[in-house]
Structure 1
Amino acid sequence: MKRIALGIQYDGTSWRGWQTQPDGRTVQDTLETALKKFSLADIATTCAGRTDAGVHALEQVVHFDTDLDRDMFSWVRGVNAFLPASIAVRWACEVAPEGEEQFHARFSATARTYRYLLYNHPVRSPLLSGKAGWVFRPLTVETMQSAASYLLGVHDFTAFRAAECQAKSPVKTMHEIRIERRGDLLMFTLRANAFLHHMVRNIVGSLIVVGTGNQSPEWLKSVLDGKDRSRAAPTFMPDGLYLARIDYDPKWKLPHEPLFPLL
């Protein structure tokens, strides 16, 4: 039995998120259907991090077990032949056990990076529909970055946790939050050991409240410390959210998807 890891990229606009659902309109359902058509066997996948409806992935990582003997590139070309244009296998890699330890797409991950692309302009752009969030009020990057600094390190992120979140603990380690402006586009980069359900969108929404001048940077610290979801901003739109990278120990020798220049 072999364990194979795949790097998956997808446009989440038309999908109901990653995780399998009865109607089959999810990325996982579509990928597993393509794997079955290619391998002529049922294959169950495990992902590094589930994404919600409308959320995209530059680099989702999954693993599965199989007895099928195929070249790694055959998994890429073969499975892609059965996938729609909005989903693609970008790479495949056999992950051999390390001693008694076995690779696991979720539990072997050491960090996850999300990026949120935001269009900051008085008028919405139809060309960015589904690919970027939109705020028409002017935003000040410096005040948002100042507020974001309060979230770095180990914290209880209950204030930014969805009610339906199934994580065992709200305590996560935020390694980095970076906010950059390129003309009318803002890029939020958040890297942590793991994220709670809706955590990125809730943080971005709260940073926007600070960026518009409606709250001070210190307000975000009080929200974090208060551990009360009702005090933070509403969950921001999913359109501009991208699962950008999953970090693993180099011993697994997984390739990394190069980030698009814009993201």
Structure 2
Amino acid sequence: MEEKEYQNFKLIFSWNGEKFHGYQQQPNVFTVQEAITKAWFILTKETVTLTGCSRLDAGVHANSFVLNLQSQTNYSLERIQKGLNGIFHSQLHLDISLYSVEHVASDFHARFSSQGKHYRYLIWYGFSEHAFLTRRCWHVRTKLDVSELFLQLQNFVGEHDFSAFRAIDCGAKNTIKKIYQIHAQFHPVYSECIVIDIWGEGFLKNMIRNMVGTAVDIASNKLSKNTITEGYLHKNRNLTGVCAPAWGLTLMQVFYSKKELEKALQLPTFFPAPC
């Protein structure tokens, strides 16, 4: 019997990161990659290799996470979508959902085909609390100059060497990254919630969390106002601010064409979006 050819599948997932130790499979901890690989095997009896668009730290959420895989399954796209979601929710009891699945060209690569990503970071600044929102935010209780926070965040826009804003154990060889745009605003309904949207071509390990943490430390007078500039100059992680907690960060969208990215940058950030 002739063996069926492999097809390249593109899948888009969303998940709550609270119970996952990040995306990428690691020993002795439970990750999203492990969960998806297990669900795919239950459905198709195939052991597949997943190629994700990003690693994502432990606790980080995903609104639209893209991955691709090679499979010989003859299941319809509808059956794959319904089947995986049924396994996630009814059998594995996981807070993860498959939004879409499609066939793509053999050269599509979830990571290397990306033209840019949109992340969102949430800060809760106030003494009141919200049952859903506050737990998805970094609750900052120290006095904060919000105008200074917004101003400092703009210092990250452009192409820079982000060595001082990556994790100590980050192994990336190229530390020069380009941030296209940063939009910071108060939530239109809950004034305690600060929403920071960041669009860039790519990011180093912990880069966004270190950027936000540094800006908050400056805005709360824990660091000098030239800290970001000094970070670029000296490339020393010890000179920059705290790493903001993972639960405030969400991967919002991954772009696979320049046109799609440019359109997103021209549109105002809208609500409600996952917060």
Q: Give me the TM-score of the superposition, normalised by structure 1.
A: 0.89
Aligned-partner Cα distance in 2 for 1:141–1:70: 52
Distance in 2 (CA, whole Å) between partners of 1:11 and 1:262 is 10
Structure 1 residue identity aligned to 2:172: A
Q: How many Å separate the matches in 2 of 1:19 and 1:208? A: 29
Report the counterpart of residue 205 of structure 1 in structure 2: 213
The sequence identity of aligned pairs, in percent, is 26
TM-score of the superposed pair, with normalisation by structure 2: 0.86
For 1:60, the equivalent position in structure 2 comes to 65
In 1, distance between residues paired with 2:20 and 2:135? 12
Aligned length: 255
Q: Report the AA paired with residue 93 of structure 1.
A: E
Give the CA deviation at 1:220. 2.1
Show the counterpart of 1:87: 96
2:123 matched to 1:131?
no
Aligned to 2:148: 143
Q: Give the whole-Å Cα distance in 1 for the aligned partners of 2:258 and 2:159.
A: 24
Q: Partner letter of residue 56 of structure 1?
A: H
Q: Is the 8 A contact 1:151 1:224 kept in 2?
A: no
* Residue in 1 that maps onto 2:11: 6
3-state SS in 1 of match to 2:183: strand
Native 8 Å contact 2:227 2:239 kept in 1: no
Opposite residue 74 of structure 2, the aligned amino acid is D
Structure 1's 25 and 262: CA in aligned 2 closer, same or farther, altered over 3 A?
closer
Distance verdict in 2 for CA 1:29–1:262, change over 3 Å: closer
Task: Note if 1:23 corresponds to 2:28.
Answer: yes
Distance 1:22 1:166 in 2: 19
User: Separation in 2 of the partners of 1:237 and 1:73?
Assistant: 37
Counterpart check, 1:117 vs 2:117 = no
Aligned mates of 1:137, 1:224 — CA distance in 2 = 26
CA 17–223 in structure 1, closer or farther in 2 if over 3 Å, else same: same
Deviation at 1:89, TM superposition (A): 0.6
How large is the RMSD of aligned CA atoms in angstroms? 2.2
Give the unaligned 5+ runs of structure 1.
none
Tell me how far apart the structure 1 counterparts of residues 112 and 55 of structure 2 sit (CA, whole Å). Answer: 13
Secondary structure at the aligned position of 1:190 is classed as: strand
- Structure 1 runs (4+) greater than 6 angstroms displaced: none
Deviates more, 1:40-49 or 1:220-229: 220-229
Q: Determine the C-alpha separation between the residues in 2 that align with 1:251 and 1:119.
A: 33
Residue number in structure 1 paired with 2:245: 237
- In structure 2, what is the equivalent of residue 246 of structure 1? 254
What secondary structure, in the 3-state scheme, does the structure 1 residue paired with 2:195 have? strand
